[in-house]
Structure 1
């Protein structure tokens, strides 16, 4: 497949934003006046000051967050775990954000080029948001059933994630990092105890899910531990002595330190934390919980939308999508009502695979079908490929139905489209096209891989992510599938509506749980009444919202924002509107807050009109 040059696309974008074609020509044929030369020097100076500042910021962040550094392909800190929950870390993070926000404010953004103005706005937004979040004690909640440092460390230790295991030094680095993780396990219990003392604890249902996840890590001997996996993959280039020494060191650390620490964590969660878990299900059950939730909603959506307004948007979208679903029911000639149609699609054997590998193979076939039409809609496509893998057995019971892991920055590892094969009844055939569009191409794989491959933008910008932007884009990618001719089968189109319904219901359920006093059971029933989702999937979804409030709002809010911007561009540009060009605008400067993206598209429209 022919792939456009990322560098060329970014260079073209910068030129487009900086000046019109006529302005560029006039500058090239005229001698600059003294005033113009002075202004140019000021611009260069301010630009260089900004670039130097954010370059140093990124280096400081990598030193503070060594595991993050590994994930972005910087291996200088692979032997370190990081402070994470320590008081020293919290102070360092605060000082870092305060210092760089102060420096950013001193830069005259009017002297920056258009692309750097966007970057500067993004940088200021980030630092301000990080400082605002310090008002709430998230460190009292270091683990939940959905996101866990334990999960992250198991994945890194598997040898199939970002942590490299190619040299003897790599293997020793991981031993050192594991020692830091053991220290974190002890500190996590202290923070959770502080949470108990301050009544900032997880809902009881979520804690009950964590216990078996930890149980799965408690094995009889080192060789049975997932953390021993690197030893089973020792490179042939290692000497016999190195093999013996590393095997002994891994076995001793796992058996004598890691497994006892994980056992202690599991016992603390079961015997101390669980009895003190709260009976309420929403964030409003925490001290200052409503304000905390509004902050999280703002953070995840990158908007200032009140949660009550988000709730109403969700109700409106649910009603609209239900109407569309009913049209599909009529189109396929189903004689029962919509509820019966849901039941049929959720239970009839013809809609499900019976073998896990068949599901994975089905997604690989869809990959080829989708890839064939992508060049008609995109100038810029990622260089990195992606593969389809089943979710690992140790986390499949609580994992989402699907997810995406970004490729290695150096190109050594493709992106991964994870599909959860634990319950095949939760993975209907009619939902496969839309799920592939969302998680892989042109959804998360395009947005994240292209962002990592960008040239000519600050490093922090290549690796920063905003949920509203990334999930909004992925949901927009599902919508784009209609224009791409990928939903000719009415059942696959129903799958698209079903996934969109999930995102609309999230607006209702997430705000219902955390701002309107809904119970877990009430949220589950609402989703059962309005979708054909498997009950096991619904329960996992609701418990996810309970664990990470506000995150689920970002999908629909982000999609609606992107669709609104496209509609504005189509109306204002008319025949000049170029869909590929619009997609370039969205994808070629990385993940952006909604307000910054709105400004970027507005500037692009003006530049196109001036041509």
Structure 2
């Protein structure tokens, strides 16, 4: 991840943990009871819309990120046994309702919506058999990072009126309650043996302590106050009162909330963390990892077959890298070439400004070449930005945040400039294609913009689809006239090798007993990545098991579907039409994408 896809990460991470208030359950039951003698398609559309709206009420953060602002004053309710039980009941109620529909009467988009909705409810319920709530924070994300993003004034939380500021102050109080509940649940995890590995817990500490500041003006949460003068129709006295109240919330609510969790993790939790790193070391860990594989690939794959596929790909890509080494005339073996690429200043930028400028220029180059392969384009544009300092130390090298659905905010292609040695110049083209166009920006923005798509599908996220598409998009580089420079082609191989190594390392860590150091050595031996970058990657795989499998598995599946369509259609195959078919219905599980493409191919003969 990049991990990429920050708004979608909030949705996929927090929605399964969103509280289901009893009143919401009663409303949902009453609403669904009103669906009477209507067509199966209409019943389905009403049911899924009710679910989506109820989900926003239960998950206020998701609502904000998808552009629904009526809950901007609320944070997700605190973790509790009651809320987990009610969440299970909520999911089961909607599964029962969708099972009452006659799927044989559904076609087209309605058929897809039925299959997706049912799959999601079944999978959500299966995931509740494990105790993810005992590990609510990691260096890859959690309430502590999402809240800071919102409070920075640079994300989805609006700060355009007095009411906006007041609503965020109220949300901050809910955040403090939520953070206190994470302490309770992390302690439950200590008592039951479901805890973070020590290196991961240690990475969370600076993310928390960075917000425990004495000078309020140095807090990331102070930034929105610099916009107060732009608010209209406010007297100086009103602005002064608002600023005093806002500063008080930062000082008395937000900073203490971060400090309480920091002190707990530092003084109590660390002592209870584990020396193992794999999911298989936890209670029911093997079954848990199998569930994670299904979550992130949507395919019936085993850790063993994924591991073997990854090993084959690592070997193949190394052979391609050797060809590049020979092409550029490097005298030495591949390991020496790796060292050369890691250590030579010519391959790295000198400043953050250089990085952002270079990626902005590549954006312009790519934009002119897209029409050859695509007939559908997102209406929203995207910007290139540096990752904010408060999260840069632990953030991925690059990531993408979706545009606001109403067009008020563009997509954001984030580049992490914290460590310039982790941003080699030879990654320029491939990384831009992956994160922006025609990768994540195309897939996610188009999904949000498709007319007539049910709301729950506009903001759905399947890692294998999103990341598989982005990696497939990279593979289109040469067809787009990119990668003409051998070093830029090497950059594409670097990215592909990273995804191949992920298959080996993720399964190695979580199913085969690999140590953190074993994974680090494997990646260093098979790539030119810097050690700091490798360590960050390995710790990411430790934190979010199975997510790293989605890239290469998804790309392989989309590529196989393209080859199938080309073989079946011959001269009738149109690459732009194929890409439209993949993108135009939004993200869907791979088995459904397969069936959809097969139906499309049959209709083209």
TM range, normalised to the smaller chain?
Answer: over 0.9
C-alpha distance in structure 1 between counterparts of 2:491 and 2:542, whole Å: 25
Q: Which residue of 2 aligns with 1:7?
A: none
Choose 256-265 or 124-133, whichever is displaced more.
256-265
Q: Which of 482, 501, 523 is equivalent to 2:519?
A: 523
SS of residue matched to 2:413? strand
Q: Which residue of 2 aligns with 1:210?
A: 204
Q: Tell whether the 8 Å contact from 2:190 to 2:272 is kept in structure 1 after alignment.
A: yes
Q: Which residue of 1 aligns with 2:251?
A: 255
Q: CA deviation at 1:167?
A: 1.4
Q: Does 1:98 align with 2:92?
A: yes
Q: Which residue of 1 aligns with 2:104?
A: 110
C-alpha distance in structure 1 between counterparts of 2:542 and 2:62, whole Å: 25
Q: Does 1:236 align with 2:235?
A: no
Larger C-alpha radius of gyration, 1 or 2? 1
SS of residue matched to 1:403? strand
C-alpha distance in structure 1 between counterparts of 2:478 and 2:598, whole Å: 26
Q: CA deviation at 1:347?
A: 1.3
Q: Which residue of 2 aligns with 1:433?
A: 429
SS of residue matched to 1:395? helix
Q: Does 1:284 align with 2:258?
A: no
Q: Tell whether the 8 Å contact from 2:172 to 2:253 is kept in structure 1 after alignment.
A: no
Q: CA deviation at 1:43?
A: 12
Q: CA deviation at 1:221?
A: 3.6
Q: Which of 56, 63, 67 is equivalent to 2:57?
A: 63
Q: CA deviation at 1:323?
A: 1.1
Say how many residue pairs are matched: 568
Q: Does 1:324 align with 2:323?
A: no
Q: CA deviation at 1:236?
A: 3.1
Runs of 4+ in structure 1 over 3 Å off: none
In the TM superposition, what are the counterparts of 1:88-487 in structure 2 within 5 Å?
88-234=82-228, 235-237=230-232, 238-487=234-483
Q: Deviations over 1:56-80 (max 9, x none)?
A: 1111111111110110011111111
SS of residue matched to 2:498? helix
Q: Deviations over 1:462-503 (max 9, x none)?
A: 000000000000000100112111011111111001100000
Choose 84-93 or 580-589, whichever is displaced more.
84-93
Q: Tell whether the 8 Å contact from 2:397 to 2:416 is kept in structure 1 after alignment.
A: yes
Q: Tell whether the 8 Å contact from 1:84 to 1:90 is kept in structure 2 after alignment.
A: no
C-alpha distance in structure 2 between counterparts of 1:170 and 1:99, whole Å: 35
Q: Which residue of 1 aligns with 2:532?
A: 536
SS of residue matched to 2:274? coil
RMSD: 1.3
Q: CA deviation at 1:605?
A: 0.5
Q: Tell whether the 8 Å contact from 1:450 to 1:588 is kept in structure 2 after alignment.
A: yes
SS of residue matched to 1:488? coil
Q: Which of 537, 541, 547 is equivalent to 1:545?
A: 541
Q: Deviations over 1:527-569 (max 9, x none)?
A: 0000000111000000000111100000000000000000000
C-alpha distance in structure 2 between counterparts of 1:231 and 1:583, whole Å: 45
C-alpha distance in structure 1 between counterparts of 2:307 and 2:239, whole Å: 58
C-alpha distance in structure 1 between counterparts of 2:222 and 2:263, whole Å: 22
C-alpha distance in structure 2 between counterparts of 1:539 and 1:354, whole Å: 23
Q: Which of 52, 74, 84 is equivalent to 2:68?
A: 74
Structure 2 residue runs of 5 or longer lacking an equivalent are: 1-35
TM-score by length of 1: 0.91
Q: Which of 567, 572, 575 is equivalent to 1:571?
A: 567
C-alpha distance in structure 2 between counterparts of 1:543 and 1:567, whole Å: 35
C-alpha distance in structure 2 between counterparts of 1:256 and 1:157, whole Å: 15
Q: Tell whether the 8 Å contact from 2:145 to 2:207 is kept in structure 1 after alignment.
A: no
C-alpha distance in structure 1 between counterparts of 2:140 and 2:597, whole Å: 35
- Relative distance call for 1:271 and 1:579 in structure 2 (3 A) is same
Q: Which residue of 1 aligns with 2:11?
A: none
Structure 1 residue runs of 5 or longer lacking an equivalent are: 1-41
Q: Tell whether the 8 Å contact from 1:404 to 1:440 is kept in structure 2 after alignment.
A: yes
SS of residue matched to 2:396? coil
Q: CA deviation at 1:84?
A: 5.0
C-alpha distance in structure 1 between counterparts of 2:592 and 2:245, whole Å: 50
Q: Deviations over 1:365-384 (max 9, x none)?
A: 00000000111111110111
Q: Deviations over 1:264-319 (max 9, x none)?
A: 11110001001110000111111111111111111111111011111111011111
Q: CA deviation at 1:344?
A: 1.1
SS of residue matched to 2:383? strand
Q: Which residue of 2 aligns with 1:39?
A: none
Q: CA deviation at 1:254?
A: 1.7
Q: Tell whether the 8 Å contact from 2:314 to 2:497 is kept in structure 1 after alignment.
A: yes
C-alpha distance in structure 2 between counterparts of 1:344 and 1:530, whole Å: 14
C-alpha distance in structure 2 between counterparts of 1:43 and 1:377, whole Å: 45
Q: Deviations over 1:209-265 (max 9, x none)?
A: 111221111100433221122222113313323312211111112212222222111
Q: Tell whether the 8 Å contact from 2:135 to 2:196 is kept in structure 1 after alignment.
A: yes
TM-score by length of 2: 0.92
SS of residue matched to 2:477? helix
SS of residue matched to 1:518? coil
Q: Deviations over 1:410-446 (max 9, x none)?
A: 1111111100111111111111100000001000000
C-alpha distance in structure 1 between counterparts of 2:257 and 2:360, whole Å: 40
